[in-house]
Amino acid sequence: MHLVLLGPPGAGKGTQATILARDLRLAHISTGDMLRTAVREGSDLGLAAREYMDRGELVPDELVIALIQDRLGAPDARGGFILDGFPRNVSQAERLDEILEELNLPLELVLNLQVPEAELIRRMTGRRVCPGCGESYHLVFNPPKSLGVCDQCGEDLIQRDDDKEATVRMRLEVYERENAPLVEYYGEAGLLVDIDGRGTVEQVYDRIRSELK
């Protein structure tokens, strides 16, 4: 399957995309993860992207499109993919259409995960990650055994800059502005399906699976 997963930051796109990719043997392509790796590695792309990411803004289209073009050209994408966090605006969606046409891998469905704003803020500001091994936690939903310390490797947990409340609000604003036209774009193409993103991971996953049948 060739899928796009849309949804505001904190809606659970990464979680759902990971499970879907495993169950349906799809390549899970997350531009947020790819950009964070580039930042960690200190590559040219990472250096260019970092300031935007820390402010909660979108990284310029050219950088993200080059990244996605490369990734979709890799052999595993031919077996199916789920795009998580891309596209983020109509111009990225238009470029994606061109790239997929060249690769002869047309989109089949766009899943639009919907979660109310207050719930998104609660989910995101509670996230903590381990700078050592990358494991993630949540103060309320998935706390570490001992407060502030990674269960896996014992490092002190941190809050990602872009999970801090001011940045979270900024990210949600950017999302609102850019996503509405994107929803319209895919709606007109007849590809869009709304998914209620409230409830447990399993409940949301079941809703997604019933749309894929």
Set 50, 160, 169, 198: catalytic member: 160
Residue nearest to ligand AMP (CB): 32
13 is catalytic: yes
CB 84 → ligand AMP: shortest distance, Å?
7
**Residue bearing tokens 């850019």:** 178
- 84: nearest Cα among 121, 48, 122, 35: 35
Q: DSSP secondary-structure letter at 159?
A: -
**CB closer to ligand AMP out of 54 and 194:** 54
40 is catalytic: no
CB 63 → ligand AMP: shortest distance, Å?
8
**CB closer to ligand AMP out of 91 and 149:** 91
**CB closer to ligand AMP out of 5 and 157:** 5
**Dihedrals phi, psi of 54, to nearest 5 degrees:** -65, -30
127 is catalytic: yes
Set 36, 95, 123, 127: catalytic member: 127
Virtual torsion, Cα 175, 143, 135, 53, nearest 10 deg: 30
CB 89 → ligand AMP: shortest distance, Å?
7
- 84: nearest Cα among 30, 32, 24: 30
- Residues contacting 172, CB < 8 A, separation 6+: 8, 9, 117, 120, 121
Residues 161 and 154: beta-carbon distance below 8 Å: no
Set 71, 123, 171, 207: catalytic member: 171
**CB closer to ligand AMP out of 57 and 194:** 57
Q: In Å, how far from its chain's centre is CA 102? A: 24
Helix, strand, coil share of the chain (percent; to 5): 55, 15, 30
Can you give the binding site for ligand AMP, defined by CB under 6 A?
A: 9, 31-32, 35, 52-53, 56-59, 64, 85-88, 92, 162, 171
**CB closer to ligand AMP out of 69 and 149:** 69
Residues 173 and 121: beta-carbon distance below 8 Å: no
198 is catalytic: no
164 is catalytic: no
CB 210 → ligand AMP: shortest distance, Å?
25
CB 6 → ligand AMP: shortest distance, Å?
11
Question: Known catalytic residues?
Answer: 13, 88, 127, 160, 171
